[in-house]
Amino acid sequence: MSLPQAREPEGGRSAPWRELPARIWASVFRSPIVPRDDLGRMQAVGANFFFHLHASRVQGRSLRVATTLGLGLATLVLFALLCSTGIMLMFVYVPAPEQAFGRMLDLRGAVAYGPFVRNLHRWSAHGMVVAAIAHMARVFLTGSHKKPREFNWVVGVGLLLLTLALSFTGYLLPWDQLAYWAIVVGTSMANYIPGIGQDLRRALLGDEAVGPEALLRFYVLHVALLPVLTATLVGLHLWRVRRDGGLARPRGEPVGADVVLAWPHALSRELAVALGVLLVLGATALAWDAPLEPHADPNHPPNPAKSPWYFLGLQELVSHSAFVGGVAVPAVTLLLMLAAPYLERSPGGEGEWLGRKRWLPNAIFVAALGAFAVLTLVGSTLRGANWAFVMPW
């Protein structure tokens, strides 16, 4: 496929400057910005660095709302939003116990749009956890993790863990009460991991107790190591979707029966998802302020001391047994998640919501998700002071 060349200037030697803008333009944008024919539309995707993650042609069914609900892309948009707001917050924040909380207050009063940017960051973080879990559910319930996409599911599980790790390291940074006691409880859970637990805890804290070293370590994890890992895995995740021939489709459906150009069909829908996410997040950030608890107090935990909602199920579990709830159940769940596409070997149900052949795996998955929801609800509504059972009314 030959690309359009910058036209040779006709009277080139006499007036090169007249042709210069066009030449520069053509050197940057190798194909027309708004393509007029299908060849141009394919080039617009294939020859553009930012679009070439796409195939230039996609399956029409991949674009229907019910196929994906746009959840993977929503997760990616939220990640981008988190990166950009996160970099802005880095200009204001100092990862030291004497300063961190004061910087949060500065963000409220002394920085233009400070609350808005922090709200966007916080609510996007919650949104990314929701979107990632929902995306995982969509993939599983449509059988999209089955052969040959097993390993991409494993990459996805890694991305879910990274999302949770990013959230965990993130909400520690304000050095408020939530931050402090989350770090205390979270790193104490490491103690129950057989063998490496103690060393893991010391490596996370950089000390024997929670203090400046721990804050610095969580900061570096949050702004450097984890985002870079996440971005890398996102690249791998998307690349493998393409390598595996796009989204999973039902068996027997002929390939190439229903193909459309990525420009404009896929891109316009992606634009719609991105705008929808921005709209929801922008409105949320304008309407609700991100919480900030009082300054960390190492001797007085709030009562009850509750983690954010996505860890409340875990908190409910560890309130029964630290080892079972904090190590055994998460480890077994993780192993099952990683093994799921390899355990489910019989073909059928790919690209099909709640495929009848896959009723058992789907039932197990929905039950596990339901258990997570119930534990979260118990932790959030039925637990009061001293983590005792209370009625929500």
Q: Name the amino acid, one letter, at 287.
A: A
66 versus 388: smaller Cβ distance to another protein: 388
CB of 40 to another protein, least distance (A): 25
Q: Does 327 bind another protein (CB under 8 A)?
A: no
Residue 315's alpha-carbon distances to 122, 242, 256, 324, in angstroms, are 21, 39, 49, 12
We find the least distance from the C-beta atom of residue 33 to another protein, in angstroms, to be: 31
Q: Which lies closer to another protein via its Cβ, residue 67 or residue 187?
A: 187
Q: Which is nearer to another protein, 157 or 324 (CB)?
A: 324
Minimal distance in Å, beta carbon 99 to another protein? Answer: 17
- What is the 8-class DSSP label of residue 301? -
Around 349, how many Cα atoms within 13 Å sit in the side-chain half-sphere? 25
Please give the Cα distance from 183 to 191 (Å, whole number): 13
Q: Residue from 47, 322, 366, 377 that binds another protein (CB under 8 A)?
A: 322
Residue 261 phi/psi, 5-degree rounding, is -80, 140
Per CB under 8 A, the list member of 301, 339, 354, 363 interacting with another protein is 301
The answer to whether residues 195 and 181 touch, using CB atoms and an 8 Å cutoff, is no
Helix (H, G, I), strand (E, B) or coil at 320: coil
Binding part of the chain for another protein, among 12-20, 281-289, 320-328, 337-345 by CB under 8 A, reads: 320-328
* 299 touching another protein, by CB under 8 A: yes
Smallest CA-to-CA distance from 178 within 295, 89, 317 is with 295
- Of 126, 128, 122, 177, nearest to 290 by C-alpha is 122
In the chain, helix, strand, coil percent, each to 5? 65, 5, 35
Q: Does 321 bind another protein (CB under 8 A)?
A: yes
- Site pattern 49..88 for another protein (x: CB under 8 A): ----------------------------------------
Instruction: Enumerate residues 181-240 that contact another protein by CB under 8 A.
Output: 181, 184-185, 187-189, 199, 202-203, 205-209, 211-213
Buried b (16+ CB within 10 A) or exposed e, 45-61: bbbeeebeebbbbbbeb
Instruction: Give DSSP secondary structure letters for 247-275.
Output: S---TTPPTTSSEEEIIIIIHHHHHHHHH
* Of the candidate residues 33, 195, 386, 391, the single one contacting another protein (CB under 8 A): 386
Minimum separation from the CB atom of position 172 to another protein (A) = 14
CA distance 219 to 183: 12
Q: Give which of 339, 379, 372 is closest to 164, Cα–Cα.
A: 372
At its nearest, how many Å lie between another protein and the CB of residue 11? Answer: 36
Q: Which of 1, 33, 360, 388 binds another protein (CB under 8 A)?
A: 388
Please name the amino acid found at residue 149. R
Q: What is the DSSP letter of 223?
A: I
Q: Which is nearer to another protein, 74 or 317 (CB)?
A: 317
Q: Minimum distance from CB of 157 to another protein (Å)?
A: 23
State the minimum distance, in angstroms, from the CB of residue 190 to another protein.
Answer: 10
Nearer residue to another protein within complex by CB, 85 or 187: 187
Of 13-21, 87-95, 316-324, 353-361: span binding another protein (CB under 8 A): 316-324
Phi first, then psi, for residue 306 (nearest 5°) are: -110, 140
**Touching another protein, residues 129-188 (CB under 8 A):** 181, 184-185, 187-188
Instruction: Using CB under 8 A, pick the residue from 165, 280, 305, 366 that binds another protein.
Output: 305
**C-beta separation of 3 from 43 below 8 A:** yes
* Site for another protein, rule CB under 8 A: 181, 184-185, 187-189, 199, 202-203, 205-209, 211-213, 298-305, 315, 318-322, 326, 383, 385-388
